[in-house]
Amino acid sequence: MKYIYIDSETGIRSYLRRFGEKGPHIIALDIEAESNLHAYGEKLCLIQIFDGVNNVIIDPFHFGTRRLKIFFEDTSVLKVMYDAGSDLSLLKNSAGIEIKSILDLRPAAELLEYEKKDLHSIIAFELGIFLEEKKKYQRYNWIKRPVAEEALLYAVNDVMHLLALKEIMLAKLYARKLLDAFLLKNLQIQNRVYTRDPEDKYRKINGYSGLDKHGKLLFKRVFDIREKYAKLFDIPAHGVIHKGDLMKIVKEPEFIYKITFPKRMNKEAVLKVLSELENAFNS
């Protein structure tokens, strides 16, 4: 399978110029990202596009997001996606990008009541194309470079059939008089507010709302210590202190000394964490 791989400012500028010169302006779009699985925080790792002719993989690690932001927020380009909510949230909160003019096919799958609603199952049902199981790549480290060739092919496969799927699903929606409901659901997806409140990161952890004022203050201190060292060592926050252990520390301070820290944190760092956790209870 052929694809265009773009990993430079010159490459993205050239591709977008060529894309702008032809029509109609419609693409299939998907992204691969890191979400606190192998490293700290959320990171946009790959962008996959099928523009009706070319399969395109964009590696954003080697250039800024300015051109991508302009392209994604261009309302004259229709972006066909599948189950776009998590991608929209990640792009908004990690890169300040709001994708505009989306056609999300996931609501169509719900309205048409497919037995299995994951993308690969629907592609198999409607197009007779059987793709590699998605679960193989659910924990794939998209940060590592170079990206394995088989992973790139998997990423391309997730978008190259979306435009054909759109034609079939829209025809079925129209035939069953479900098109209006589908369009409304798409407007709701587009109009949803995806900006997250940073404080939700700790306020939504189980047990937090049941703490008293002092307990909430202590929980925030412990949470901030975990975030500080996760960011410092670029590891997922749960790799420093598991989410479930945060509440144990607040309720049982002696639990501090039972924490198992990751190997990537040296002894000096571990001692600093323990010291800061002790101080959190004494201040």
Q: pLDDT tens across 85-132, in order?
A: 999 999 999 999 999 999 999 999 999 999 999 999 999 999 999 987
- pLDDT, mean of residues 234-240: 93
- Whole-structure pTM over 0.85, yes or no? yes
Which of these three, 161, 191, 221, is where a domain ends?
A: 191
Residue 133 has pLDDT above 80, yes or no: no
* Domain CATH code at residue 269: 1.10.150
Tokens of 165: 């799927």
The sign of the CA dihedral 9, 13, 19, 20 is positive
- pLDDT, mean of residues 49-57: 96
Q: Looking at residue 215, what is its pLDDT?
A: 95
CA angle (82 as vertex; 38, 192 as ends), nearest 5:
85
Considering the chain, what is the average pLDDT of its residues? Answer: 94
Residue 135 has pLDDT above 90, yes or no: no
- 4 by DSSP, 3-state: which? strand
- pLDDT, mean of residues 135-159: 92
Check whether residue 156 and residue 37 sit in a common domain: yes
Check whether residue 111 and residue 54 sit in a common domain: yes
Which of these three, 150, 165, 191, is where a domain ends?
A: 191
Q: Looking at residue 9, what is its pLDDT?
A: 94
Check whether residue 64 and residue 107 sit in a common domain: yes
- pLDDT, mean of residues 169-189: 98
Is 65 in contact with 45 (CB distance < 8 Å)? no
- pLDDT, mean of residues 235-255: 93
Check whether residue 134 and residue 20 sit in a common domain: yes
DSSP 193: -
- pLDDT, mean of residues 55-69: 94
Check whether residue 173 and residue 264 sit in a common domain: no
Check whether residue 112 and residue 149 sit in a common domain: yes
Boundaries of domain holding 224: 200-282
Tally of domains within the chain = 2
Check whether residue 225 and residue 101 sit in a common domain: no
Give the helix ranges, DSSP H, for 176-266: 179-191, 200-203, 213-233, 237-240, 243-251
Check whether residue 161 and residue 73 sit in a common domain: yes
Is 154 in contact with 176 (CB distance < 8 Å)? no
Q: Looking at residue 1, what is its pLDDT?
A: 81
Q: Looking at residue 23, what is its pLDDT?
A: 72
Check whether residue 137 and residue 215 sit in a common domain: no
Check whether residue 17 and residue 84 sit in a common domain: yes
Which of these three, 167, 191, 215, is where a domain ends?
A: 191
Percentage of the chain exceeding pLDDT 70? 100
Q: Output 59 or 62, whichever has higher pLDDT.
A: 59
Check whether residue 141 and residue 92 sit in a common domain: yes
Check whether residue 45 and residue 21 sit in a common domain: yes
- Structure confidence at residue 169 as a pLDDT band (50, 70, 90): very high
Residue 273 has pLDDT above 90, yes or no: yes
Rounded-to-integer distance, Cα 275 and Cα 273, Å:
5
- Structure confidence at residue 22 as a pLDDT band (50, 70, 90): confident
**Which strand ranges, in their side-by-side order, compose the sheet holding 26-35?**
4-6, 55-58, 42-50, 26-35, 78-81, 102-104
* Domain CATH code at residue 129: 3.30.420.10
